[in-house]
Chains A and B, each alone.
Chain A
Amino acid sequence: MTGPNPTEPTPTQRRTVIVTGGSRGIGLSIATGLAAEGFRVVAVARRPSEAFEAAARAAPDGAMHFSACDLGQTEALQPLVRGIRAAHGPIYGLVNNAAIGTPGLLATMPDREIQDLVHINTVAPMLLTKYVVRGMMAAGAGRIVNVSSIIAFTGYNALSVYAATKAASIGFTRSLAREVGRLGVTVNAVAPGFVETALTEGMDAAERGRVANRAALRRLADPEDVANAVAYLMSEKARNVTGTVLTVDAGSTA
């Protein structure tokens, strides 16, 4: 049996970061990556996944936690934030990653689906950020990272509503960065290109091949590439970076 790693932070030294949608896909990669970088990650999703539980078991002691919440139930968000603060201490970082990617031609999309997209991808992260950022403002430090998409600025057939929500996330990022900057809180966005996750499973192999061929690097980005970008923005190295968008798309939009 080996002794504790002297450079490994103890559970109480870890700064708490919330990752929404942290049980699978890009969110799980972000959660795992931040835990490896020394943060205490609280993944929020409706339910934990086997993949999350396996990652939490493999992570250092006290590095990965789960809090169940349906983020679309917006009246639950303030109690969620209070509960996480009570259990894990002050919240240093928030990664607004949870989103739905319902495709559909606007002309034939059910109204309910359009409203759900805006509610879950735009309204819920704004309200969650409202309740989390207060503690950051009071502490005089904090990091917010919003996961947007290259579709916010490129356009893709049958994703107009999704694209609108992702563009909203960038506008929200820039103006909130202005609001809270002088209190030491940074707000940035990451814009992944097409990444191999459950959200893109709807694309067939030929379509994926076409997307990859359009990229400068002739490949798709991985969830880990997005996680690395978030880890950078969450780190001390990014202390002077705020109100910006970091694109991670293997050069698709280059």
Chain B
Amino acid sequence: MSVRSTLVSEIEAITRDHDKAMPPLTDDLVLLDTPFDSLCFALLVARMEDLVGVDPFSTLEVADLPVTLGDLVALYERAAVAAAA
């Protein structure tokens, strides 16, 4: 499973578990404008660390915070590549 598909399926699972209705998960989706709240986000970071073995948020500078789903996917893809290197 690619980093992207893992991330998307986890977002779907978390929103399903927490009864949140999400708009279609496109790359330009602004996460702050969705019901995916900070707790969902924390849960996503925890699950991704388990599944992919990386946590890009532990060393992140504030300016790099992802805005869109595409930014988030890219952040995880970069972290996964860096971890594998």
Which one, A3-11, A131-139, A161-169, A198-206, is touching chain B?
A: A131-139
Q: How far is the CA of A137 from the CA of B10 in the complex (A)?
A: 14
Interface membership of B49, Cβ < 8 A: yes
Interface membership of B58, Cβ < 8 A: yes
Q: How far is the CA of A124 from the CA of B63 in the complex (A)?
A: 25
Q: How far is the CA of A134 from the CA of B48 in the complex (A)?
A: 10
Interface membership of B65, Cβ < 8 A: no
Centre residue among A78, A137, A138, A179 by max chain B CB count within 10 A: A138
Which one, B1-9, B25-33, B39-47, B69-77, is touching chain A?
A: B39-47
Interface membership of A183, Cβ < 8 A: yes
Inside 8 A of A135's CB, which chain B residues have their CB?
46, 50
Interface of A is mostly: helix
Contact A78 B50 (CB under 8 A): no
Contact B46 A137 (CB under 8 A): yes
Contact A183 B43 (CB under 8 A): yes
User: Residue B46 contacts which of A78, A134, A179, A182 (CB distance < 8 angstroms)?
Assistant: A134
Inside 8 A of A179's CB, which chain B residues have their CB?
39
User: Residue A78 contacts which of B39, B45, B55 (CB distance < 8 angstroms)?
Assistant: B55
Inside 8 A of A138's CB, which chain B residues have their CB?
43, 46-47, 50
Q: How far is the CA of A182 from the CA of B49 in the complex (A)?
A: 21
Taking the closest CB of chain B, its distance from the CB of A85, in whole angstroms, is: 9
- The number of chain A residues touching the other chain, given as a range, is under 10
Contact A78 B58 (CB under 8 A): yes
Taking the closest CB of chain A, its distance from the CB of B55, in whole angstroms, is: 7
Q: How far is the CA of A179 from the CA of B37 in the complex (A)?
A: 12
Inside 8 A of A78's CB, which chain B residues have their CB?
55, 58
Inside 8 A of B47's CB, which chain A residues have their CB?
138
**A138 to chain B: closest residue by CB:** B46
Q: How far is the CA of A78 from the CA of B57 in the complex (A)?
A: 12
Contact B55 A183 (CB under 8 A): no
Q: How far is the CA of A78 from the CA of B55 in the complex (A)?
A: 10
Inside 8 A of B55's CB, which chain A residues have their CB?
78
Centre residue among B39, B42, B45 by max chain A CB count within 10 A: B42
Contact B42 A137 (CB under 8 A): yes
Q: In A50-76, which residues have CB < 8 Å from any B CB?
A: none
Taking the closest CB of chain A, its distance from the CB of B18, in whole angstroms, is: 9
Taking the closest CB of chain B, its distance from the CB of A6, in whole angstroms, is: 34
Taking the closest CB of chain B, its distance from the CB of A138, in whole angstroms, is: 4
Inside 8 A of B49's CB, which chain A residues have their CB?
134
Inside 8 A of A137's CB, which chain B residues have their CB?
42-43, 46
* 19 A-B residue pairings within 8 Å (CB atoms): A78-B55, A78-B58, A134-B42, A134-B45, A134-B46, A134-B49, A135-B46, A135-B50, A137-B42, A137-B43, A137-B46, A138-B43, A138-B46, A138-B47, A138-B50, A179-B39, A182-B39, A183-B39, A183-B43
Closest 4 CB pairs of A and B: A134-B46, A138-B46, A138-B47, A137-B46
